[in-house]
Amino acid sequence: MIYQDILLFLSNIFNKHHLNYFATGSLAVAFYGRERTSHDFDFKISISHKESKSLILALSDLSPDYIYDKEGIISAIETKSMANILYLPLGFKIDLWFNKETVFDQERFKRKINQTIEGQKINFISPEDLILIKLDWYRNSHSDRHFEDAASVFQIQKNLDQKYLNLWAKKLKVENYLKQLKTFPVQEW
C-alpha cells in the first residue's frame, strides 16, 4: 500500500501545481498489464525551462522523507533528460523523464489518459503508447523485460487502437516487434 500512497502523493502535488505529466514505466504496465517488481516509478513531464520554477515549487511540497537535487532537476529540464527523487524510508527512486518535444512525445501527451484511483486524478500514458515505447526500449536495449511488458499490455487490453499502433510502430521502426506481439504465446499473467 505504501507504493500506492507514494503515487497518490506525487500525482496530487503534480496536479496541484498544474504540471503536464503522465505515469509510465512499471506503474503503467501494472495498471494496464501485469504487475511486476520494480525499484522505481517513472513520470514523463512536459515542461519548459521557463516553467521549471513551477516544478521546483511543486517539489518543495514534498515531505523531508523525499530528497532531490534542485540543480540536477533544472539541468535535466534544460537537457531534456532524467532526474531522480529518492524516498528515503524505502530507498525508492522516482524517475522524472523530461519531454524531448519529439512528434511522438507530443502525441503521447495528447493521448494521456486521466484515471481515478481512490478518488484522485492521475494521468497515465495510453496503453498503445506504452506498448510502443516499450518496443522502442526493447529495440534499443534488447531487454526481454521491455518486450514482456509490451506483450502483457497488448494481451490484456482488448480495445487497442490497432491503426494507431501500426502507424507509430512503422514510424518508430518497431513494426516487426509489434507483429511478434501478435503471435507471442498468451501467458497466464
Distances in whole angstroms, Cα of residue 103 to Cα of each of 7, 86, 98, 110, 172:
27, 30, 14, 11, 11
188 pLDDT tier (thresholds 50, 70, 90): low
For residues 111-122, average pLDDT: 95
Give which of 140, 138, 108, 142 is closest to 125, Cα–Cα. Answer: 108
The beta strands (E) that lie in 47-119 are given as: 66-68, 82-87, 92-98, 113-117
Sort 176 into a burial class: Cβ within 10 Å, 0-12 / 13-18 / 19+.
exposed
Complete edge-to-edge strand list for the sheet that includes strand 92-98? 66-68, 82-87, 92-98, 40-46, 20-24, 120-124, 113-117
Which grid coordinates are listed for 165? 499502433
Distance between CA atoms of residues 66 and 173, nearest Å: 38
pLDDT confidence of residue 187: 62
- pLDDT tens per residue, range 130-159: 999 999 999 999 889 999 999 999 999 999
- The answer to pTM > 0.85 is yes
- pLDDT tens per residue, range 158-179: 999 999 999 999 999 999 999 9
Q: Are 46 and 125 contacting, i.e. CB atoms less than 8 angstroms apart?
A: no
Strand partners for 116: 121
